[in-house]
């Protein structure tokens, strides 16, 4: 293939690159591709875009205001009780005005929360949200307000501040940094990665091998004239035309470098030992059955792994996407509000994120990666007559990873309003994650990335009351262990030692099936003391030990992921 024909097939705005069957966008312009060795940390941020406007009220369901929730959306409301598929209570230890439940297909997300690896932020939006898909997406990507029109994105500005610039494409890639700093899944060009004055670029193929073959087969220009490559006179080199042409001519070498580098890392990294979900196991529209998030997260895990410590990509930010959230009609099945398109999407997010976290842990990467969801808006409080929901404003944001400050931030939305009101500006979420997770200096966040203090800003009542939010950990410590022990606890039995009977107490934070067994010193089960569903709270089980010979025994509690064992001494 001649280079001219190759260039004709490229777009200045968008050239997708596929690896392992997944379209990728390599954000390699000189604002984004820096020397990773200059970064102060190896932390990674994944942005999960819920394309179309997620219905937050059927994802994160109000508990205290459930009657109003049901009143305004009876045709799509998730049952709170008396149903095999009912709302999952997230955490009974939370204050009543923050109590929420999860969609029944988000059981895996409940597991993440209970392990201290999930945070929910309620009512995230921006002032004067107009409910527009395209404008709303641009606003959230550029990191501005409703009346801003930035040509750059907040991630692009972050990366510009994080790394000293190098000349692109002449100095790039280089020995210190062979990887793009930002990778976007899919074929769109997202404003989030732009930096003022630069042209984003990426490369599209069906698989790494065909891409490498395409690049290797390129021939030189055959043009005759002033310049054998068809370039304008050197005087025009710094003109807009000259800069764009130089950019195009730099694609060949850069494409080859990235293709070979990423394919090498991808092939070297082992396939995950963790089973990722492939399909929704219940009824849903045909297009909703396949889990589109799974291959994206699997690819990221392999690229970050690279086959061993220090061998994976040094990419700082990933953007992954899941569509189908514009649910004006048939959001649920008419015969069952817990089934349908939105249910499948909730399952896809929860199950894929759970598998991804398990995969990261197995690869020794769990301390490095944090994932945050984003959607252009939420849906209205009231359902429509088509078993769906219309464009709204505020919605919950979910954050996943070992580095989160687990819990629920913000109160249950006011269900008497038409829309979910804004409790937190979306830039507060990003600013706090930049400070506490990506460890960016506050002055840079305020002055160079968001152009306003969203960390310690005005403290007036209402929207615009910016304050530090407990979303992520600057230093990953034992906070998760404390979080777990305060919600799930097996106490020491009393009395102990015991001669006739003893009482075992345990606490759970939501309704769950509980197994309590008595074992001998060899670990053999002697008796099942309890095997039934228990509601949230503290429970007691009386155990008669008169039939047991004196000695040492163990009692074990299993519920969900939790398994705890303690010692019992029997005497006479």
Give the rounded percent of residues in the chain with a pLDDT score beyond 70.
78
Kindly report the three-state secondary structure assignment for every residue of 3-26: HHHHHHCCCCCCCCEEECCEEEEE
For the 488-570 domain, the top CATH level (class) is: mainly beta
End-to-end CA distance of the chain: 90
pLDDT at 227 exceeding the cut of 60: no
Helix-strand-coil split of the chain, %, nearest 5: 30, 20, 50
pLDDT at 260 exceeding the cut of 50: yes
pLDDT at 214 exceeding the cut of 90: no
The whole-number pLDDT of residue 32 equals: 38
Helical ranges in 445-548 per DSSP H: 479-485
pLDDT at 219 exceeding the cut of 50: no
Mean pLDDT of 508-515: 91
Range from 44-48, 172-176, 381-385, 561-565 carrying the lowest mean pLDDT: 172-176
pLDDT at 298 exceeding the cut of 60: yes
Distance CA 149, CA 375 (A): 19
Sheet of 512-519: strand order equals 525-534, 512-519, 551-559, 562-570
pLDDT at 303 exceeding the cut of 50: yes
Tell me the pLDDT of the chain averaged across its residues. 84
- Is the bond preceding residue 177 a cis peptide, omega within 30 degrees? no
Tens of pLDDT, residue by residue over 11-41, are 333 445 566 666 665 554 333 333 333 456 8
pLDDT at 139 exceeding the cut of 50: yes
Tens of pLDDT, residue by residue over 383-430, are 999 999 999 999 999 999 999 999 999 999 999 999 999 999 999 999
Residue predicted with more confidence, 86 or 130: 86
Q: What is the pLDDT confidence band of residue 208, given thresholds at 50, 70 and 90?
A: very low
pLDDT at 201 exceeding the cut of 70: no
pLDDT at 162 exceeding the cut of 80: no
Most distant CA atoms of the chain, gap in Å: 105
pLDDT at 207 exceeding the cut of 90: no
What is each CA distance from 172 to 34, 39, 142, 200, 255, in whole angstroms? 9, 17, 26, 15, 11
The whole-number pLDDT of residue 181 equals: 75
The whole-number pLDDT of residue 486 equals: 87
Sheet of 537-544: strand order equals 489-490, 501-508, 537-544
Placement of tokens 């959306």 in the chain: 73
Q: Say if CB 161 and CB 143 are below 8 A apart.
A: no
421, with CB counted inside 10 A (0-12, 13-18, 19+), is middle
Mean pLDDT of 338-354: 97
Q: What is the pLDDT confidence band of residue 161, given thresholds at 50, 70 and 90?
A: confident
Break the chain into its structural domains and give their ranges. 3-481, 488-570
3 alpha-carbon distance from chain centroid:
39
pLDDT at 53 exceeding the cut of 90: yes
The whole-number pLDDT of residue 151 equals: 87
Mean pLDDT of 282-288: 86
Name which of 24, 96, 107 is nearest 412 in CA terms.
96
The whole-number pLDDT of residue 481 equals: 78
Placement of tokens 């606890």 in the chain: 489
Residue predicted with more confidence, 99 or 178: 99
Q: What is the pLDDT confidence band of residue 199, given thresholds at 50, 70 and 90?
A: very low
Distance CA 230, CA 233 (A): 9
The whole-number pLDDT of residue 11 equals: 35
Structure tokens belonging to residue 495: 């009395």
Name which of 298, 389, 362, 296 is nearest 58 in CA terms.
389
Name which of 524, 486, 468, 387 is nearest 93 in CA terms.
486
Q: What is the pLDDT confidence band of residue 471, given thresholds at 50, 70 and 90?
A: very high
Q: Is 157 helix (H, G, I), strand (E, B) or coil?
A: helix
Range from 157-171, 441-455, 530-544 carrying the lowest mean pLDDT: 157-171
Q: Say if CB 296 and CB 183 are below 8 A apart.
A: no
Q: What is the pLDDT confidence band of residue 82, given thresholds at 50, 70 and 90?
A: confident
Q: Is the dihedral angle over the CA atoms 299, 300, 301, 303 positive or is it negative?
A: positive
């Amino acid at each position: 293939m001649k280079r001219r024909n190759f260039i004709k097939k490229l777009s200045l705005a968008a050239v997708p690159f596929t690896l392992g069957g997944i379209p990728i966008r390599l954000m390699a312009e000189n604002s984004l591709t820096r020397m990773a060795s200059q970064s102060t940390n190896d932390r990674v941020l994944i942005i999960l875009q819920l394309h179309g406007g997620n219905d937050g009220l059927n994802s994160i369901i109000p508990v205290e205001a459930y009657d109003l929730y049901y009143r305004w959306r009876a045709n799509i409301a998730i049952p709170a009780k008396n149903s095999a598929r009912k709302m999952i209570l997230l955490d009974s230890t939370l204050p009543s005005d923050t109590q929420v439940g999860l969609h029944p297909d988000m059981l895996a997300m409940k597991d993440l929360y209970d392990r201290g690896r999930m945070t929910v932020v309620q009512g995230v939006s921006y002032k004067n949200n107009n409910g527009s898909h395209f404008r709303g997406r641009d606003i959230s990507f550029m990191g501005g307000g409703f009346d801003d029109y930035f040509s750059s994105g907040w991630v692009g500005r972050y990366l510009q501040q994080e790394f000293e610039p190098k000349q692109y494409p002449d100095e790039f890639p280089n020995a210190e940094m062979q990887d793009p700093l930002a990778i976007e899944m899919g074929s769109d060009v997202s404003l989030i990665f732009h930096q003022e004055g630069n042209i984003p670029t990426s490369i599209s193929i069906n698989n790494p091998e065909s891409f490498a073959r395409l690049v290797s087969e390129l021939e030189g220009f055959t043009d005759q004239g002033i310049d054998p490559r068809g370039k304008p006179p050197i005087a025009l080199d710094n003109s807009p035309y000259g800069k764009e042409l130089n950019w195009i001519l730099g694609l060949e070498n850069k494409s080859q470098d990235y293709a070979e580098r990423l394919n090498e890392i991808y092939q070297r990294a082992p396939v995950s030992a963790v089973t990722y979900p492939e399909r929704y196991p219940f009824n849903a529209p045909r297009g909703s059955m396949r889990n589109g998030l799974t291959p994206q997260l699997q690819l990221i895990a392999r690229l970050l792994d690279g086959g061993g410590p220090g061998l994976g990509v040094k990419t700082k930010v990933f953007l992954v996407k899941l569509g189908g959230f514009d649910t004006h009609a048939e959001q649920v099945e008419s015969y069952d509000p817990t089934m349908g398109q939105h249910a499948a999407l909730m399952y896809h997010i929860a199950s894929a994120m759970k598998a991804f976290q398990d995969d990261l842990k197995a690869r020794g990467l769990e301390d490095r990666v944090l994932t945050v969801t984003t959607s252009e808006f939420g849906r209205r409080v009231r359902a429509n007559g088509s078993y769906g929901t219309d464009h709204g404003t505020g919605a919950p944001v979910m954050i996943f990873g070992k580095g989160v400050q687990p819990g629920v931030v913000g109160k249950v939305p006011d269900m008497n309003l038409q829309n979910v009101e804004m409790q937190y500006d979306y830039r507060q979420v990003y600013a706090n994650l930049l400070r506490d997770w990506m460890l960016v200096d506050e002055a840079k966040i305020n002055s160079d990335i968001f152009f306003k203090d969203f960390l310690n800003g005005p403290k007036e009542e209402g929207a615009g009351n910016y304050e530090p939010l407990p979303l992520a950990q600057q230093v990953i410590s034992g906070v998760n262990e404390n979080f777990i022990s305060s919600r799930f606890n097996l106490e020491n039995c009393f009395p102990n030692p015991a001669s006739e009977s003893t009482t075992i107490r345990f606490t759970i934070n939501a309704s769950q099936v509980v197994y309590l067994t008595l074992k001998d010193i060899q670990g053999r089960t002697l008796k099942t003391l309890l095997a039934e569903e228990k509601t949230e709270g503290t429970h007691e089980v009386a155990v008669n030990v008169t039939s047991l010979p004196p000695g040492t025994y163990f009692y074990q509690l299993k519920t969900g992921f939790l398994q705890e064992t303690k010692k019992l001494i029997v005497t006479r």
